[in-house]
Amino acid sequence: MVRSIVVVALTLAISVSAMNLPRSSSQGQPRTADRSSEAASVFGTTSDNPNFFDMPKELCIVPKYSSEAGIDHGEEPKPLTTQQALDLCPQATRIAVCDH
């Protein structure tokens, strides 16, 4: 009996302490960005391969250069812009840029 009371008390204490964890008020919130800036500087990078062809609804990984996305075929590779990344991932909740 005493053991079960201790277990319940510990469970409640852990639950209450987890509820009081400080969070950033901006965490998970949309933010404004210059849509002509490089997507990598706005969204961050990952070593995972692009998956934007699948139209993901959660994490969408876009290529680093617009030519790799079939957008621009110029002489010099141009970094993908924030707007281009948003256009490639219209349903995604998060976007990251492939860094290779």
Paired with 78 in beta bridges are none
The model's pLDDT over 9-44, given as tens digits with 9 standing for 90+, comes to 544 445 444 455 555 566 666 778 899 999 999 999
Phi, psi dihedral angles at 78 (to 5 degrees)? -110, 135
Cα 48 to Cα 65: distance, rounded to the nearest angstrom: 15
Residue with the larger pLDDT of the pair 26 and 85: 85
Cα 23 to Cα 21: distance, rounded to the nearest angstrom: 6
Task: Please name the helix (run of DSSP H) or strand (run of DSSP E) that holds residue 19, with its range, or none.
Answer: helix 2-19
Residue with the larger pLDDT of the pair 9 and 88: 88
pTM of the model: 0.69
pLDDT of amino acid 59: 97
Give residue limits of the domains in the chain.
Answer: 34-100
Within 8 A by CB and 6+ apart from 52, the residues are 60, 61, 62, 63, 69, 88, 89
